[in-house]
Chains A and B, each alone.
Chain A
Amino acid sequence: MEFETVIGLEVHVQLSTKSKIFCNASAAYGGEPNEYIDPVTLGLPGALPVTNRKVVEYAIMMGLATHCEIRRFNRFARKHYFYPDLPKGYQISQFDEPICERGHVDFYMDGAKKTVGLKRIHMEEDAGKNLHDSRTGSSLVDLNRAGVPLLEIVSEPEIRSPAEAAAYLRSIRQLVRYLDISDGNMEEGSLRCDANISLRPVGELKFGTRTEIKNLNSFKFVERALEYEIARQYAILKAGNKVVQETLLFDSGNGTTRPMRSKEESADYRYFPDPDLPPVIVEESWVQEVRGKLPRLPAEWANELVSEYGLSMYDATVLTTERAFVEFYHHVVATCGNAKAACNWVTSEFFGALNKAGLDISESPVKATELGQLIKLVDDETISGKMAKSVFEEMFASGKTANEIVNDKGLKQLSNDSDILTIVRKEFDANPEQLAGYLGGNDRLHGFFVGQVMKATGGSANPKKVNDLIRQEAAARKGS
């Protein structure tokens, strides 16, 4: 019996607002423990939440970017459970009235387009952090993160493999970074993933029993945890037994999943609408306003790169990995008008230099327009392609523009036909034996003369012209 894998992901995205979702304490990462606290964060008696407008805006942005329906009448709900990192004894979230529903995410895997449906996106507050010290038998609670705004993005169970799960997750990350609503950093916890996974016989429509793996905090772990869990469930089902529905944690040390002890009793969260927070009504006008603020998204960019600029899908994918990349590329093309050359330069020389120097594109010493300028110098034959590479290195190291460097170092390639012809003739005359051989048909000596002319010009002669003029002069001499 063949089984197919059914995976659904719940992704939590921490929004990069300045303040928390329900109060003015800072939502920044990395403060001293319990530095960003106030009566609301601490859940003090008498404290009251007030909703951060930006969080609603970001939720609408994500909803539009994933083709969701944006709900008009929104409420927050209280989700009750007791845990030391949850100060009020309830989390303010959304229950049966999420702000976005019925969307989808498209992405490419192995050249094929995949679509995963989104069930819902809702707003909620994050909990604090616990550090466990089993030596002392105590846990330490830091509430900085309590109240930081989250979007919870729930996919339909339409993901079919661990690799697909990772690709889907990457595209979520790409979207939130394009929208600039989150830095999507899994290591720092601004992007977290819980995975639901079950197996069912191929062709079966009913879902099998699923397990939930919580708090996966790297793409690699997501894949590995799912691979392990698939194998584990497969072994159980193959043996004719039933999979137990439970919540699991992934042990990255030994690559296995194990049940979470604290989730043994099924939770009754006693959701009800939060009476402290009036509903948020999102009128069409607000949606339109947000739509107007949306940046161009990866899919749109990729389409344009392929259809307008004639790039391959592969190149388009590379360039649209980050919004900063494609916008940089776009400016390069706007400056030099050569899409293919720009693509080559950006993806190999430019990215190569950034990686080597360990710099983020925002720290690049070379601006997009400057790179465009460099390409133009090659295109209008001011310098050779080979020369351009070293000019680029110099640009990257010094921050100077291409023109500055070419002028300072006198690197303009020699393109004047009569100047080059003079040198060609000189070389011909200086090397009578090779000339005879060349004129006699030994084409390998063409390269010899190219080399001589290049040497004589200190490498600055336009190679194409050198080629052409050598042939031209040879032809002239043969004729005579």
Chain B
Amino acid sequence: MSDISSLTISEMRAGLDSKQFSCSELVKASLDKADACSGLNCFTQLSSDSALKEAEVIDKLLSQGKRAPLLGIPLGIKDVICTKGVRTTAGSKILENFIPPYDATVVRRLKTAGGVSIGKLNMDEFAMGSSNETSAYGPVRNPWNPEYVPGGSSGGSAAAVAAGICPVSLGTDTGGSIRQPASFCGIVGLKPTYGRVSRYGVIAYASSLDQVGGFARNVRDCALVTQAICGRDPNDATSANKEVPDFSKSIGQNLKGLRIGLPKEYFVSAVAPEVSDALKKAIRTLEDLGAIPVEISLPHTDCAVAVYYILAPAEASSNLARYDGIRYGHRASGKLDLKALYAKSRSEGFGREVQRRILVGTYVLSSGYYDAYYLKAQKVRSLIVKDFHEAFSTKCDVIAAPTAPDTPFKIGERISDPLQMYLNDIFTIPVNLAGLPGMSVPCGFTSQGLPVGLQLIGKPWDEETLFRTAAAYEGATDWHNRRPNEKSA
């Protein structure tokens, strides 16, 4: 059973439906691959027993002739998403033994689509990070070169797919946490429009920015997993009452006349030369496919990181106030009075980056500072939204840009300077602030063999144009067929 875990979904579908292999064999292959790649530290936990049990059930359904797009497909779920009865840690010590009594809506949707979760994927603690180095369960390693970071915060989700452990996985994206790891791991990652996917059961970091999305090795698989998780949820008041189109229909459509906006603020000298080069080539490819590059301006781009690092920590400091060791989670031991119990439990349970952001968030919300920081940031956010709105309504149909200004860096290289790390997110953050859909597709490699990503940004609710553009680009290139060296895993 040679490496069936790294087949595409269509190939798995064909194999399962034609009985070339069973779901149990497929899931076992995934679990075996996960073991073989354990050095990458992609998983906070593997659910071998339950996955194999589920596979048995699915084999019966398959033999009864039941079919569904994800039926029998192994996948991983970022450990920020609640899975009933299965430990969910958010990459933190404070939830080391937390067992959710309920499933997140996206987990339910994957179940009804027939997907089989093989385990929970490692991540930056509480989704705060861009390199998967803040996890309480150790860093995740990039399958292309294990000395390098896979990106974050959904590092485990990206690495698992890139390493061929499973064809798709779920991650979350608040400031780039799907797109940037997709870029660093040479795979496809989509953050849907804010409100497309339910946040119910997704451990909150920044409520007005968080969205769940899928990773895959190719655009078609990404469309399948995205389709499975989208849809209004009455349990999430911020989930949108919008019909979900059939995303797969966008694949194969041509790009003739498609206006691709190139924001001049995103193509600046601060971008690493190898990224710049790969992007230039990608845009030429799109042009060859009939698209029309148009220079646009998003004037408030240089405010985005500042806005984000006021709003996100503010919301996080609020969302993390519930972690006090009283109803669940880590509780400090010893004879402590109530106030000390709170402080000790939280300080023992939260890592440095999380504590730092809580302090920033507490500051910008505190009386006397709220207007100057939080309120100001929300106003500038409106300006950023307006920038995109103007570009989309007058100049272009989709925006292309680098996903990250840099290529993957070595583990430990940037961890001591938080601000440096934050600036990594400069091209992804504005998309979250404006609630737009954003996708990263592989568009090249550095001379050291590390992946570079092309970011596509769409109008609200227009994931279809992203799939259309990405699929056409993929059809004209070969990046998605490259695999990390087996030995590096």
* Residues of chain A having any CB pair with chain B under 8 Å: 39, 42-51, 78, 80, 82, 84, 87-90, 139, 141, 268, 270-272, 275-278
Looking at B235-243, B250-258, B397-405, B468-476, the stretch in contact with chain A turns out to be B235-243
| A38 shortest CB reach to chain B, Å | 9
- The CA of A346 and the CA of B489, in the complex, are separated in Å by 89
Query: Are B328 and A44 within 8 A (Cβ)?
Result: yes
Query: Are A48 and B235 within 8 A (Cβ)?
Result: yes
* Most central of A50, A90, A275 by chain B CB within 10 Å: A275
* Residues of chain B having any CB pair with chain A under 8 Å: 81-82, 88, 90, 95, 98, 100-102, 104, 199-204, 206-208, 234-238, 314-315, 317-318, 321-324, 326-328, 338-339, 342, 362, 365-367, 370, 374
- The CA of A44 and the CA of B203, in the complex, are separated in Å by 9
- The CA of A107 and the CA of B103, in the complex, are separated in Å by 52
Query: Are B318 and A78 within 8 A (Cβ)?
Result: yes
Summarize A's interface: helix, strand, loop or mixed.
loop
- The CA of A45 and the CA of B99, in the complex, are separated in Å by 10
Assuming the contacts A46-B100, A82-B342, A276-B237, asked whether A87 and B327 have C-beta atoms less than 8 A apart, the reply is yes
- The CA of A139 and the CA of B203, in the complex, are separated in Å by 28
Query: Are A270 and B366 within 8 A (Cβ)?
Result: yes
Q: Specify which chain A residues have a CB less than 8 angstroms from the CB of B322 in the assembled complex.
A: 43, 45, 87-89
**Which residue in A42, A46, A268, A272 is a CB contact (below 8 Å) of B327?**
A42
- The CA of A243 and the CA of B104, in the complex, are separated in Å by 53
Query: Are B365 and A270 within 8 A (Cβ)?
Result: yes
Q: Specify which chain A residues have a CB less than 8 angstroms from the CB of B207 in the assembled complex.
A: 275-276
Query: Are A82 and B236 within 8 A (Cβ)?
Result: no
Q: Specify which chain A residues have a CB less than 8 angstroms from the CB of B237 in the assembled complex.
A: 48-51, 276-278
Which partner residue on chain B sits nearest A49 by CB separation? B237
Can you give 22 A-B contacts (C-beta < 8 A)?
Answer: A39-B101, A44-B327, A45-B90, A45-B204, A45-B322, A45-B323, A46-B100, A46-B203, A46-B204, A48-B199, A48-B238, A50-B235, A50-B236, A51-B237, A80-B321, A82-B321, A89-B324, A139-B338, A270-B318, A270-B362, A275-B208, A276-B204
Assuming the contacts A45-B95, A50-B235, A84-B338, asked whether A141 and B318 have C-beta atoms less than 8 A apart, the reply is no
Q: Specify which chain A residues have a CB less than 8 angstroms from the CB of B323 in the assembled complex.
A: 45
| B245 shortest CB reach to chain A, Å | 23
Which partner residue on chain B sits nearest A85 by CB separation? B326
Assuming the contacts A46-B204, A268-B367, A275-B208, asked whether A89 and B100 have C-beta atoms less than 8 A apart, the reply is no
Q: Specify which chain A residues have a CB less than 8 angstroms from the CB of B208 in the assembled complex.
A: 275
Query: Are B314 and A48 within 8 A (Cβ)?
Result: no
**Which residue in B100, B338, B366 is a CB contact (below 8 Å) of A44?**
B100
Assuming the contacts A82-B321, A270-B366, A275-B315, asked whether A45 and B82 have C-beta atoms less than 8 A apart, the reply is yes
- The CA of A91 and the CA of B207, in the complex, are separated in Å by 16
Query: Are A89 and B238 within 8 A (Cβ)?
Result: no
Which partner residue on chain B sits nearest A266 by CB separation? B367
Q: Specify which chain B residues have a CB less than 8 angstroms from the CB of A277 in the assembled complex.
A: 237
Which partner residue on chain B sits nearest A84 by CB separation? B326
Supply 16 further A-B pairs (C-beta < 8 A) apart from A82-B342, A87-B322.
Answer: A39-B101, A44-B82, A44-B101, A46-B202, A47-B201, A48-B235, A48-B236, A48-B238, A50-B235, A50-B237, A82-B324, A89-B322, A270-B318, A270-B362, A275-B207, A278-B237
Q: Specify which chain B residues have a CB less than 8 angstroms from the CB of A275 in the assembled complex.
A: 206-208, 238, 315
- The CA of A139 and the CA of B82, in the complex, are separated in Å by 30
| A410 shortest CB reach to chain B, Å | 67
**Which residue in A139, A141, A272 is a CB contact (below 8 Å) of B365?**
A272
Q: Specify which chain A residues have a CB less than 8 angstroms from the CB of B367 in the assembled complex.
A: 268, 270
- 9 residue pairs, one from A and one from B, having the closest CB atoms: A89-B321, A270-B365, A275-B208, A275-B207, A45-B203, A46-B201, A43-B322, A46-B82, A88-B322
- The CA of A278 and the CA of B323, in the complex, are separated in Å by 24
**Which residue in A46, A87, A272 is a CB contact (below 8 Å) of B104?**
A46
